[in-house]
Amino acid sequence: MQRSLVKTVAILVKNGIGFGHLRRAVLIAEAIQSRGRLKPVIISQASSLSLFKNTPVDVINFPLLHRVSSAVAEDAYTAILDRLLDKLDPAVVVEDTYPDPRYLALPSLAHRPRLLVMRRLDGASFDHLRTQGRFAAFDKILIAQSRADFAREGHSGDSAAAVECSGRFSFVGNLSYTPASEEIARTRAEYAPHGEPLVVVNGGAGGDQMPDGYGDRLFGACAQVAERLLITGHRARFVFVTGPYYAGKPLSETANVTVRRYEPRLAALLAAAHVAVIKPGNNALSEALSGQAHLVLVPDVSFLEGLDEHAGRVADHYGGATSTADPDALEPLVREALARPPRTERPKANHEGLLQTLDAIEDLADAVEPRVLKRQLMLALTLGEGRDVTGLRDVLPPLLGSAVPLDGTSVPDADSPPSESVLRRGERAGIVALPAGEPPSVPPQELVDRGARLAITPAPVPRAITRWIQLAPAVPALGVLAAEYVVARKGSLDENLRQIARTATHNETACAIVDLSRLADDDSVKHYLHGLAEWLGTQPVTLLSSEETIARVTQRLLEQS
């Protein structure tokens, strides 16, 4: 089959009852197509095609197979999807929302560059996916949140460390469509032609995460609120956007209620509203926040999002209220919001985040030459207590340029075990050396707050160090790497090289701490280091920088445990 000269990007989106993730995928795909460097293809299995009607992007939507057993339907979907992806031959595969286990074993995706655009997940859900190894297959993961908002989710120390240090994750901020002021004005004029205040009600796509009738309860309650306001002569108009998957009782339009099953300009409608009564899913909430509406958030069960806590945080920050789907609870909140001037506190439009996303996709789509990985080693050097390491860089051979100098006697040897760890000062290496005996007198969090991201300690990792970290886990977690402790003395180079060779051979990410304090003078140090460099130059060993070592250690946190 003849391949297209323009590289293809396959965008795999989640399916079921949600709709916001589809809108985000269309936003990204249309931006890719506008740039003209890559050809996006959206692959979906959505029940409703409403969203795809007006997009210029190619969409392949698989039907939901209801007439056969779910196991047979799932097998058929997976087999056809595999053949389709093989035929498309995408240069990069983009997944949306969170990792889908169905894609992990697809032969057509093996060895292809993969990128995940991940919307916010609550801390427990993120931790679960991480410990299941779901993030390990991705070359890049773009978190559609700010760094500060991500931290507020209450992530574990291991998850925070993996995100901060593994090199896989980037924060691009919330990705949602921001309508222009002219589009907002036109939409407001259509739904409130005489300047009436607008109350927009939306429950996402309209489906139930659980069979608890959320949509039926939400719109039923808001219909009663609208009727009560109409009876009292209030001018407010209500617009119910039920979502294409709404399956509740039929809703009737009244003198002050307009019902839409699907509104392609929902972002503009939410921005035009005076009050937004919504399920605080990621996309609808983002669009509502971009406008002036006062928020009345009605959380419901939502897969991996933890909406109750998130709704409370958003209401506290931007103003607004949370409520249940009960007319007696909603009515006073809607009336109060209608009586207030438009909301002025709102997030800035995140145009830069979309550009970052496009750049990341294009970077992965560019062909790179494969590399054969050699054995990898982090080399740390210490001159001992009272000797300044600032001049050590001047005598390092070029091949040892990635070596990490450590201040002070921060690791033990047989002659003089220290009682305290010393964080490397000067350059921001993020490395702390811990003793083999008693752990530091400070908690791990203090070292992390001072910039440490990785602790190296003589192998095997002392039980006291493990217990010290477990009893007071830091956020982000402090990684630990067992190191071979090498004491350099006059005439010991050959013996030391055998030690380093052994640890590099037996460990995927090896670390050697070379104590140079027993060498008498600077000339002896220089001679020893040149001998070490000459040997390393003949070995299949790559020296890792401190940043690379930290990334490798934290990447283990993304693998199934």
pLDDT at 71 over 90: no
pLDDT tens digit sequence for 297-311: 998 766 666 666 777
Q: How far is CA 496 from CA 395, 487, 501, in A?
A: 19, 7, 9
Which CATH number does the domain 181-348 belong to among 3.40.190.10, 3.40.50.2000, 3.20.20.140, 2.10.10.90? 3.40.50.2000
pLDDT at 494 over 90: yes
Q: How far apart are CA 537 and CA 542, in angstroms?
A: 9
What percentage of the chain has pLDDT greater than the value 90? 53
**CATH 3.40.50.2000 corresponds to the domain 8-175+354-365:** yes
Task: Find, among 221, 218, 411, 240, the residue nearest to 327 by Cα.
Answer: 221
- The arrangement of secondary structure in 375-558, i.e. its CATH architecture, is Alpha-Beta Barrel (3.20)
Give the model's pLDDT for residue 371.
Answer: 63
Per the model's pLDDT, the better-predicted residue between 478 and 2 turns out to be 478
Rg for the chain (alpha carbons), in Å? 29
Give the model's pLDDT for residue 227.
Answer: 97
Residue appearing with tokens 């709102």:
346
Cβ(319)–Cβ(345) under 8 Å? yes
pLDDT band at 437 (very low <50, low <70, confident <90, very high): confident
pLDDT at 293 over 50: yes
Cβ(203)–Cβ(218) under 8 Å? yes
pLDDT band at 54 (very low <50, low <70, confident <90, very high): confident
> Lowest-pLDDT range, 133-147, 261-275, 383-397?
383-397
Same topology for domains 181-348 and 375-558, yes or no? no
Q: How far apart are CA 15 and CA 52, in angstroms?
A: 14
Give the model's pLDDT for residue 289.
Answer: 86
Give the model's pLDDT for residue 66.
Answer: 54
**Structure tokens given for 483:** 């190191």
pLDDT tens digit sequence for 186-225: 999 999 999 999 999 998 876 665 567 888 999 999 999 9
pLDDT at 5 over 80: no
* Cα within 13 Å of Cα(343), Cβ side: 28
pLDDT at 469 over 90: yes
Residues facing residue 97 across a β-bridge: 118
Enumerate the domain spans of the chain: 8-175+354-365, 181-348, 375-558
pLDDT band at 64 (very low <50, low <70, confident <90, very high): low
Give the model's pLDDT for residue 247.
Answer: 84
> Lowest-pLDDT range, 122-126, 149-153, 274-278, 382-386?
382-386
pLDDT at 369 over 70: no
**Residues in the chain, overall count:** 561
Supply angle C-alpha 342, 348, 353, rounded to 5: 150
